[in-house]
Structure 1
C-alpha cells in the first residue's frame, strides 16, 4: 500500500526543513490532536500512540541531506516506511511531500488506509507552522 500527502509549501530552505525533520523529537509538534503518547526513545527513534490505536515505534533509517528522510517501523507486527521528500523551490522555499509505504494484507489495508491517509496529511500540513 502506497499513500502520499499533498505537496506542502514551506517558507524555509530545504536544509532548514531537513534539519527540522532530522530531529525526531520535532515530530511531536507535527502530531494530530488525538495523540495520546509521544516519547523519544533514542536520538533516532520515537514512540507515539493515537487514541484508539496501538503504539507505533519509528526509527530514522535513512537521511540524504537536504532532500530525503526515511523513517521505518522499529519492531511490532507491521513493516512500513514514512518518507519525507524535500524539494527546493528557491533558496528560502521548499516543497515537502510525505509518502507512506507498507505491505499489508487486503483486510488490514482496507482498515488502515483512511486513518493513515489522514495522519500523513496532518503531519505534512503541520510542517510549515512548526518550523
Structure 2
C-alpha cells in the first residue's frame, strides 16, 4: 500500500528541514492533536500512540542530506516506511511530501488506509511548526 501526502511549501531551507527531521524528538511537533503518547527512545527511535490506535515504534532507517529522511517500523509485524522528500525551492523555501509504503494484507489495508492518509497529511501540514 502506497500513500502520498499533499506537497506542502514550508518557509524553511531544505537543510533546516533535513536537520529537524533527522532529530526524532522534533516529530512530536508534527503529531496531530489526537496524540496520546510520544516518547523518544534514543537518538534514532521514538514511540507514539494516537487515541484509539495501537502504539507504533519508528526508527531512522536512512537519510540523504538534504533531500530525504526515511523512518521505518521497528516491528516486522507491520512492515512500513515513512519517507520525507524535501525539495529546495529557494534558499529559504522548501517543498515537502511524505510517502507511506506498507506491506499489509487487503483487509488490514482497507482498515488503515483512511487513518494513515489523514495522519501523513497532518504531519505534512504541521511542517511549518519545526
Worse-superposed segment, 19-28 or 75-84 = 75-84
Moved over 6 A (4+): none
Aligned length: 130
Using a 3 Å threshold, how does the CA distance of structure 1 residues 50 and 76 change in structure 2: closer, same or farther? farther
Alignment of 1:23-34 (within 5 A): 23-34=23-34
CA deviations 1:18-67 (Å, max 9, x no partner) are 01111000000110011100000010000000011111000000010000
Normalising by structure 1, what TM-score?
0.98
- CA distance in 1: counterparts of 2:56 and 2:77, whole angstroms: 10
2:58 pairs with 1:58: yes
- CA distance in 1: counterparts of 2:29 and 2:91, whole angstroms: 24
The alpha-carbon deviation at position 116 of structure 1 amounts to 0.1
Unaligned ranges ≥5, structure 1? none
- CA distance in 1: counterparts of 2:86 and 2:78, whole angstroms: 26
Normalising by structure 2, what TM-score?
0.98
Alignment correspondent of 1:80: 80
